[in-house]
Chains A and B, each alone.
Chain A
Amino acid sequence: MKFSLNFIKEFLEVKMPAQDLVEALTMSGMEVENLEKSGNDWVFDIEVTSNRYDWLSLLGIAREVAVCLGKKLDIKYPKVVKEPVLLGRKIVIEDSNDCIFYVGRVIRGLNISASPLWLKQRVINCGINSINSVVDVTNYCMLKWGNPLHAFDYDKLKGDIFVRRAKKNEEFIGIDGKERILSKDNLVIADAEKVIALAGVIGAKNSEVDETTKNIFLEAALFLPLSIRRSRRSVGLDTESSYRFERMVNPQYLEFASEQAANLIKELSGGVFFGYKEAGKNPTIKPKRIMINFSSLSDYLGLACSASAVRQILERLGFKTESISKETAVFLAPLFRFDIQREVDIYEEFSRIYGFDKIPSSLPAIKPKVKEPNSYEFKKEVRRLLVSMGLNEAVTFSIESEEELTGLGYENLIKIANPLRKKENVMRPSLCQGLLKTIKYNLNRSQSNVSFFEIANIYTKLKSGFEETSQIGIAYSQGFNDFFFLKGLVNRLLDYFDIVEYEFKPESAKNMSNSLSIVVGGQSIGCLGKIDRQVKKDLGIKEDLFFSQINLQLLMKARGIKKYQPFSNYPAVCRDISIALRKDKKFADVEKIIVKKSKDYFSSLEILDRYQGQDLEKNYQAFTLRIFYQLPERTLTSDEIDSLHLMIRDQLNAQDGIQIR
């Protein structure tokens, strides 16, 4: 909200330089976002927080300025005249929930022209265009008192005035010239024939005041904030008037605003007061009574607050002291502050004026709590580990495109009801797309050696409700490494968390025909594999891509306990073996036999090389394996290893599809 310093000076003398006032207001809670010079005036632009509807009037702002400067306001309330009563026209409020009180004043015989300079400056410096000597006055009074007013061309109104809901598909052309189709969401002002205003939002073209207007009907009213909000939203409008009604206007000043406007219009455009009419009831407001305890206040702020200091500040703010002792006091909230409801509101009022900067800084003594394993700590560990293995951490969006994901075969997506764009309209069911796109982004920028991981949530719709789970996603291109690096990486991750019993089960996964499921305790906790050609093609990536996703919660649950394992001090003995394997056989078949047959002697094995050459039978591939044998309790003799190794060779050779070379 913009206001001008000269306007404020209608209420009190301000000697403080504008820049200093900016600082003072900002530090007491009225944040000045901008200060600009305009002729001999200063224009302040303040942020009005939603609790301070009273700052939408110059009166309210002047009160705050007065508090800051420690001065008193000089408010001249006009004498309200309600006679003569307007005859021949009724004001009908159809639903008093929408409008509690409505006032009309008719002035006849006007000679409307441009406004005098002082009035023009007042409205322009508060961010409103100057129109003419009537409209400017309504705006001036709205700015001053906070109550929006509207002037209709009285000669264009037919019959009685109605405050009612719009009919379905009722047409409306506002003074902005735009046509709108109304609905029951819109509260309107109508005469016997037509809609003459979108209540509290904007007037209609059909009854607009212009320079030819002679007689006006001046409206002031109390509309329900919610009605105005719904109405203006349904037509996509936000006006000075709706802005105020939505937040609340003060009933106390409605008659002052209307009366002063009528008087000023007569003064500037001639004319005589022709009649007054009202409908509904202007509510009487009772001050809120709040009792506070000074020691509670002191405990709340961490500052010793004396009764006299509190009283002095609250009275500056317009509170009345009903009773006061050293320990407690009862204060009456000012009638212009509907936001003051309970003790804490008084604590805030006192502290902001006293000055937050005068409250000392100290550290709380946090009481120790039992520390439970949490996902945050676990994520930290995973992050360290993956970074140490050469992966870069990515942060990608959790919102993706339904079309794209459905194309990849994902189901049960959680849709966003109000997406910003169609390509960002569902919660992602996997970390895959985000990581692959990140790889693509980097490959396209001539970055080779691209490897990423991300720790984030994925979301799935369930039969009843939904599921949101934390996942670890890992993806890289062949420029970084191959599939077996990924397998080693997952091994390392499981080892790190002391998960001993696990296996990799071949099982196709989303986007991957070549993939393994990571099974711990009979449950799959994730997968790893090579991204399918088609998926790569759709993304426009040529390089091979590898991806793994592991459920973080399940991994955390499977975590084992670190414990010392005795190791053998006796040397391990190794023997090499070259094997040709038919392609329908798996390495795991070979491994299984070796492990089983070498029993307790088996320590580990290692691939020395893999070979696919012309000297091999068709459909065979070869590799050289090094097997390590070791016993915990003694040194092995070469004789016993030779015979064991020979037996294993024979066992392998006896298998269909396995040849010892």
Chain B
Amino acid sequence: MEEKLRILEEEFKADLSQSKTQEELDALKVKYLGRKSKLNDLFSLIPALSREEKSIFGKNLNILKNKISQKLDQSSNSEERQEELIDLTYPAKPMANGYQHILSHVTEQICSVFEGLGFSVVEGGEIEDEWHNFSALNIPAEHPSRDVFDTFYMELKEKDKGKYLLRSHTSPTQIRVMSSLTPPVAVISPGRVYRPDEVDATHSFMFNQVEGFAVDEDINFSHLKGALLHFARSFFASSVNLRFRPHFFPFTEPSAEVDVSCVICGGKKNNSVNQRCSVCKGKGWVEVLGCGMIHPNVLEACGINSRKYKGFAFGMGIERLTMLKYGINDIRLFYDNDQRFLKQFQV
């Protein structure tokens, strides 16, 4: 039996060496692999063999079949086998996805840093009342920020919490959350805020802020510093530093304004007018946010025992942080929504 296989193989090799054209190769395929081929004849012998022979002969027969088939394929020289070359230098097709606005992206970035620390995100309404926007935040009745020059008031019938207005900061959410939940709380709250500022390269009557606060029995100023440093290093770069400058806000005590070491020049001090960094004006630091320990008057206004609980709070302007991080020099670009602007921030 083995002999038959060997002879067949020899025959095929001889035939193959004689075949040059594709037609001849096709003919060989019929001759050796077709239904009436010699190989098939050998297959038909199998049923008559003993069990042991069946297994060996069958196996060898299959090996030969594969060998012939492979040899024929390799010899085939037709154009089908030749890969046609494509000019791959033509332009790519545009992808169909759109672009998230850079402001919402940055908002999400900021929130996610604090979510990582265990903060929850809570959103608040934009039409607020005087009590939530000012009084509860320890802002006295005659404070300049309550001026019509600094706050938009609504033509809505006043209720028991004072005039309706467009919130001038995201802090009213702090009041709403602290009034409705019992500590511990740790919340981050992004949203739109409004102030009657004429629109120019750095001002807009509508902009976005993020408010964050944590209240518990053991919250302290050191936590505030750590949480914000963690944020700055996650958001800007792992190498940045923060500088806490004492400041005054009615709703926090102590209060601080926070500067980040300049992300553009790396915080190099340089007072020479020609060489100094345009972002930090050569100071090496850029103001990014305000913060402090929540004033006990504010906790008390929300019905929280200020002897037992302490908290920190901070607020930052999203446009400002975005402009700083991405080198955007005009706040109006955010609200023009020019697709050529939006497309630059693929996120």
Residues of A within 8 A of B (CB): 26-29, 31, 49-52, 225-226, 229, 299-303, 342, 344-345, 347-348, 351-352, 356-357, 359-364, 366-369, 371, 374-377, 380, 383-384, 386-399, 414-420, 424, 427, 438, 441-442, 445, 447, 450-453, 455-457, 459, 461, 464-466, 468
Q: Which residues does chain A contribute within 8 Å of B103, judged by CB atoms?
A: 395
Interface residues of B (CB under 8 A from A): 96-101, 103-104, 108, 111, 117-123, 125-127, 142-144, 148, 152-157, 159, 164, 166, 184-186, 190, 192, 194, 196, 198, 205-206, 214, 216, 218-223, 225-227, 229-230, 243-248, 250, 253-257, 293, 295-296, 310, 334-340, 342-343
A417 is contacted by which of B99, B155, B206 (Cβ under 8 Å)?
B155
Known contacts A348-B255, A387-B98; is-contact A376 B123 (Cβ 8 Å): yes
Other-chain residue from A50, A364, A441, A461 in contact with B336 (beta carbon distance below 8 A):
A441
**Minimal beta-carbon separation of A428 from chain B (angstroms):** 11
User: Chain B nearest CB: distance from A467 CB in Å?
Assistant: 9
Do residues B100 and A364 form an inter-chain contact, with CB atoms below 8 A? no
Evaluate contact between B97 and A388: CB separation under 8 angstroms: yes
Q: Is the CB of B218 within 8 A of A303?
A: no
Residues on B with C-beta less than 8 A from A459 are: 126-127
Inter-chain contacts of B142 with A (CB < 8 A): 225-226, 229
In the bound complex, residues from chain B placing their C-beta under 8 Å from that of A300 are 220-221, 293, 310
Do the beta carbons of A50 and B100 come within 8 Å of each other?
Answer: no
Contact between chains at B97 and A414 (CB < 8 Å): no
Residue contact A393 to B98, C-beta cutoff 8 Å? yes
Closest Cβ–Cβ distance, residue B289 to chain A (whole Å): 14
Q: Which residue of A lies closest to B336 (CB)?
A: A441
Q: Which residues of B are found within 8 Å of A468, using beta-carbon distances? A: 125-127
Would A50 and B143 count as touching, CB distance under 8 A? yes
B343: which A residues are within 8 A, CB to CB? 392
Given A393-B98, A415-B154, A361 and B226 contact (CB-CB distance below 8 Å): yes
Contact in complex: A351, B254 (CB < 8 Å) = yes
Inter-subunit contact A390/B245 (CB<8 Å): no
Contacts of A395 in B (CB 8 A): 101, 103-104, 334-335, 337
With A348-B253, A366-B186, A366-B214: A392-B342 Cβ-Cβ less than 8 Å: yes
A interface majority secondary structure = mixed
A–B complex contacts, Cβ < 8 Å, 22 sampled: A51-B248, A229-B142, A299-B220, A302-B220, A302-B221, A302-B223, A347-B253, A348-B253, A351-B221, A360-B226, A364-B218, A366-B118, A368-B118, A387-B98, A392-B342, A393-B101, A395-B335, A416-B153, A417-B154, A418-B196, A419-B152, A427-B127
Q: Looking across the interface, which residue of chain B has its beta carbon closest to that of A452?
A: B337
Contacting residues, chain B, for A391 (C-beta < 8 A): 98
Q: How far is the CB of A624 from chain B (nearest CB, A)?
A: 26
A450 touches B245 (CB 8 A): no
Residues of A within 8 A of B256 (CB): 356
User: Chain A residues with Cβ under 8 A from B111's Cβ?
Assistant: 376
Residues in B with CB closer than 8 Å to A399 are 152, 194, 205-206
Distance of A235 Cα from B181 Cα, bound (Å): 45
Residues from chain B with Cβ under 8 Å of A453 in the complex: 98
- Identify which of A28, A347, A415, A442 contacts B155 (C-beta below 8 A): A415
Are the C-beta atoms of B205 and A390 separated by less than 8 Å? no
A363 closest partner in B (C-beta) = B226
A348, A360, A371, A442, most chain B CB atoms within 10 A: A348
B110 to chain A, nearest CB (A): 12
B117 contact set on A, CB distance < 8 A: 363-364, 366
How many angstroms from the CA of A339 to the CA of B317 in the assembled complex?
Answer: 28
Q: Which residues of B contact A371 (CB under 8 A)?
A: 120
| Chain B residue contacts of A389, Cβ below 8 A | 96-98
Which of the residues A31, A303, A347, A418 comes within 8 Å of B222, measured between beta carbons?
A303
Give the Cβ gap from B55 to chain A, nearest Cβ, in Å: 37
CB distance from B20 to the nearest CB of A (A): 46
One of A347, A360, A424, A451 near B254 (C-beta < 8 A) = A347
User: Shortest CB–CB separation between residue A423 and chain B, in angstroms?
Assistant: 12
- Is the Cβ of A387 less than 8 Å from the Cβ of B100? yes
Specify which chain B residues have a CB less than 8 angstroms from the CB of A418 in the assembled complex. 148, 152-153, 196
Q: Which of A369, A384, A455, A465 contacts B120 (CB 8 A)?
A: A369
In the complex, the chain B residue whose C-beta lies closest to that of A344 is B253
A455 — which chain B residues lie within 8 A by C-beta? 104
**A349 closest partner in B (C-beta):** B254
Closest 10 CB pairs of A and B: A302-B222, A366-B118, A29-B246, A49-B248, A302-B220, A352-B246, A348-B254, A364-B223, A393-B101, A356-B244
Q: In the complex, are the beta carbons of B339 and A414 less than 8 A apart?
A: no
With A348-B255, A367-B184, A418-B152 given, is the CB distance from A301 to B221 under 8 Å? yes
Give the chain A neighbours of B192 by CB distance below 8 A. Answer: 398, 456-457
Candidates B104, B126, B216, B250; contact of A457 at CB < 8 Å: B126
Q: Which residue of B lies closest to A420 (CB)?
A: B196
**What residues of B have a CB within 8 angstroms of the CB of A424 in the complex?**
205
7 further A-B pairs in the complex, CB-CB below 8 A; given A51-B248, A300-B310, A416-B155: A376-B122, A387-B97, A397-B335, A415-B155, A416-B152, A417-B155, A459-B126
Which residue of B196, B245, B293 is within 8 Å of A27 (Cβ)? B245
Q: Is there contact, CB below 8 Å, between B98 and A386?
A: yes
**A396 with B337: CB separation less than 8 A:** yes
Once A364-B219, A418-B153 are accepted as A-B contacts, the answer to whether A29 and B339 lie under 8 Å apart by CB is: no
Whole-angstrom distance between the Cβ of B233 and the nearest chain A Cβ:
11
The docked-state distance in angstroms from the alpha carbon of A452 to that of B140 is 43
Cβ contacts under 8 Å, B186 to chain A? 364, 366-367, 369
